[in-house]
């Protein structure tokens, strides 16, 4: 099978498509597990109740990297269904490989652009939580426009969340954290669940990068906001 991310043409993208060499295990996971655990942008709107065989809490993680944290959350919360979105094939391959080995039934993944997936694959008011952990900070000022957290993106997330749904963001880049806080404070459909930032909630796993950062004295900023009205319904 051809292994490459799905995305629509855009003037500005929040990611760069990298070649990224895959291991034998990652490539094998696509061949053996994609039909069972992979989801396609090209297939359009998905029916999560049909995919998972139940109607329960639904969580989407955007940009899951190699998938370790997403996998840990899915294992710890078997009563919740998770869908991950990632553009880099090695990460998706690693996730599928682990899901197959551990026989986890409440997790699926897209190899695609998150904006396109949200726009085309999830019905409005269908999600309970959206996680965006450690997105690319695009730290050079001229590249800030490529950051995924933008007003229109938050508006899109708001449309896909159920009333009372939550968006949870985390970053280790202070200027990005400040931008996130400003944008979520200005977003009409969201209410920050604290005055500013919050401690890492127990359900978000501590990554190896965070542990290393803590030893070096680096900060991490978590921000969680609840949708208190849905613009789709107004």
Q: Is 229 exposed, middle or buried (0-12, 13-18, 19+ CB in 10 A)?
A: middle
Q: Classify residue 111 by its DSSP letter.
A: E
The Cβ of residue 94 has, within 10 Å, a number of other Cβ atoms equal to: 23
CA distances from 14 to 159, 186, 220 (A): 20, 21, 21
pLDDT digits (tens, 9 = 90+) for 55-106: 999 999 999 999 999 999 999 999 999 999 999 999 999 999 999 999 999 9
Q: How far is residue 182's CA from residue 123's CA, in Å, rounded to a whole number?
A: 27
Residue 234 confidence (pLDDT): 44
Once rounded to an integer, what is the mean pLDDT over residues 164-173?
A: 95
192-218 burial, b if ≥16 CB within 10 A, otherwise e?
beeeebeeeeeebbebeebeeeeeeee
pLDDT of residue 230: 61
pLDDT of residue 19: 60
Helix (H) or strand (E) holding 73: helix 68-76
The rounded distance, in Å, linking the Cα atoms of 39 and 51 is 10
Q: d(Cα 83, Cα 70) in Å, to the nearest integer?
A: 9
pTM of the model: 0.91
How far, rounded to the nearest angstrom, does the alpha carbon of residue 82 sit from its chain's CA centroid?
A: 10
Q: Which of 136, 172, 196, 222 is catalytic?
A: 136
Known catalytic residue at 136: yes
pLDDT score of 233: 47
Domains parsed from the chain with CATH numbers? 44-233 (3.40.50.150)
């Amino acid at each position: 099978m051809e292994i490459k991310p799905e995305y629509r043409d855009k003037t500005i993208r929040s990611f760069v498509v990298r070649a990224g060499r895959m291991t034998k295990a990652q490539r094998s996971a696509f061949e053996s597990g994609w039909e069972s655990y992979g989801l396609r942008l090209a297939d359009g709107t998905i029916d999560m109740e049909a995919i998972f065989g139940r109607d329960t809490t639904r969580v989407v993680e955007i940009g899951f990297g190699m998938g370790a944290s997403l996998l840990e959350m899915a294992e710890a919360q078997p009563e919740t269904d998770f869908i991950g979105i990632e553009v880099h094939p090695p990460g998706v391959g690693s996730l599928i490989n682990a899901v197959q080995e551990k026989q986890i039934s409440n997790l699926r993944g897209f190899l695609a652009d998150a904006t396109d997936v949200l726009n085309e694959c999830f019905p409005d008011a269908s999600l309970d939580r959206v996680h965006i952990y450690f997105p690319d900070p695009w730290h050079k000022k001229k590249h800030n426009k490529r950051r995924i957290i933008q007003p229109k993106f938050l508006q899109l997330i708001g449309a896909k969340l159920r009333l009372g749904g939550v968006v949870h963001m985390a970053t280790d880049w202070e200027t990005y954290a400040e931008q996130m806080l400003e944008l979520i404070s200005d977003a009409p459909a969201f209410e920050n669940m604290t005055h500013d930032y919050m401690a890492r909630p127990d359900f978000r796993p501590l990554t190896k990068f965070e542990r290393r950062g803590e030893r070096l004295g680096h900060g991490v900023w978590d921000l969680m906001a609840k949708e208190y009205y849905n613009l789709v319904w107004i």
